[in-house]
Structure 1
Amino acid sequence: MWERTDTGFWRHAPSGVLFREVPAGTFRMGLSEAEEATLAGLEFEEGGLTAEDLRQMRPVREVRVDAFLMAWHPLTVAQVRHWLPDYDDEYAGDDDHRVARLEWPDELLEALPFRLPTEAEWEYAARAGTTTLWHRGDMRPGEDAVLDSFGDPAVTTASENPFGLAAMGATGDLCADVYVDGYADAPTDARPRHAEDAERVVRGGAADLYPWQGVDEWLMLLPTTRYEFGEFASIRPVAPLP
């Protein structure tokens, strides 16, 4: 079912979806005071993070993550159609290489042989061993960091982070956890959190707001940005190591 490619991918043979291996490790999850201070030194067009935003990203804690596979990029319209042949995406138009924005993701989740990443796995993969605001550093990201179409391998490769994952944070990726206030009493082993009558967490999503409208949508690219599932979300599945 799995094939190892010459370029370092794991390929899911039935669907052709490419995955990268994310190594095991430990990281500090959440927005630290040092990162907040760095953010404060950047120029904001309007607003920035509120006290409530910061509360939802704390307390910062150390989390252990086991190795796993994560899709190279969120599933595109063409890839979703492998499992849902009649899938239609009003956001993608005629571009089957665009990331699928699922308004009702449960049907796909039931069909997939994969699972959703937990919040901890997603942030760990987005940080990719770095301790700066973004994997590229502490400078405010530009338009080249916002990518949601994956038909050109050269462009996709240029947007990879140190774990070889493309466009982390560019789209709003659905996680296995439900949205729970902050990280108080959250597990330290990357397990998902569950609660009754709660929506799942979404991470990232800058491409969903492009072109930017003179406010700080670029903050959506932060590895720590988290919010509740709303109108639609993308799916970047994960799987155990073969």
Structure 2
Amino acid sequence: MFGVVWNEKVLAGRPAWQHIPSGVIFRQVPGGTYRMGLSEAELAAVRAIASDGGVEDTLEPFFAEAWHSQPVREVRVASFLIARHPLTVAQVRHWMPDYEDDYAEAETGTARLEDDLDDLLEALPFRLPSEAEWEYAARAGTTTLTFRGDGKPGEEQLLDDFGDEQVTAASENAFGLAAMGSAGELCADVWIPGFAGAPDDGRPRTGDGPRVVRGGAADLYPWQGCDEWLLLLASTRYEQADFTAIRPVAPLPPQK
């Protein structure tokens, strides 16, 4: 079955799997264990950025809400396939031909869904990532603010259109994933402040209410000098409020 609708290929020097009907490219993320959440070392890195004059506004709200991404804990994540980048307008139209997007400038741009979000989630043959999977994928083996390190991320790290393969490839992390943190991406978990009692095996937390969103720095572009760079951090999480992007997860291919 996998071989019927999927095509294994090499893209930007890494293995990839293309869902033939929609064209969505997936990467396989290896299983592993990592420290999930906003660590004291990362908080210190943010304070260092502030001390060096790298902030535009007060970071008091960020530090006051740091507990939403704590306590840091060890989480085991099984291997999974996840889309190389958020679904584009063209890819969403594979499942919803009449889809119109008020935010993207081209069909190769990130699709941001509002009223039609539930329709897409029902039509997709894939699932949403848990936020444990999302953060694991975003960190790609690192323990720093972003996969690039503890320096302040800038607007040059944003990627919201995937029409240029060279640009997309240059933005990938070690897992071959692009634009992690650019768009606000919906996760499977229901929003619960903090990680007290959260699963340690990568499962999503379920229940009623809005879901968790990760990333979103490009949702506020052009930046207005309100420290939007904080949305690029691997541990930043918040409650779904309006439009959102989708980066789906798929079952692993069968072993050959």
One-letter code aligned to 1:209:
L
Q: Does 1:106 align with 2:113?
A: no
Q: Which residue of 2 aligns with 1:32?
A: 39
Q: Which residue of 2 aligns with 1:209?
A: 220
Q: Secondary structure at the match of 1:20?
A: strand
Gaps of at least 5 residues in structure 1 are none
Which residue among 19, 22, 40 is the counterpart of 2:26? 19
One-letter code aligned to 2:205:
R
Work out the CA distance in 1 between the residues paired with 2:176 and 2:91. Answer: 20
Q: Which residue of 1 aligns with 2:161?
A: 149
Q: Which residue of 1 aligns with 2:8?
A: 4
RMSD (Å), alpha carbons = 1.0
One-letter code aligned to 2:150:
D
Superposition pairs of residues 84-95 of structure 1, within 5 angstroms: 84-93=96-105, 95=106
Aligned-pair identity in percent equals 63
Spell out, residue by residue over 1:29-50, the C-alpha distance to the aligned partner (whole angstroms, 9 max, x if none): 0001111011100021112253
Work out the CA distance in 2 between the residues paired with 1:191 and 1:149. Answer: 30
State the shift of 1:3 in Å: 1.4
Which residue among 138, 152, 176 is the counterpart of 2:188? 176
State the shift of 1:13 in Å: 1.4
State the shift of 1:195 in Å: 2.1
Aligned residues: 240
Which residue among 235, 243, 246 is the counterpart of 1:235? 246
Q: Secondary structure at the match of 1:37?
A: helix
Q: Which residue of 2 aligns with 1:56?
A: 68
Q: Which residue of 2 aligns with 1:222?
A: 233
Work out the CA distance in 1 between the residues paired with 2:32 and 2:40. Answer: 22
Work out the CA distance in 1 between the residues paired with 2:174 and 2:126. Answer: 23
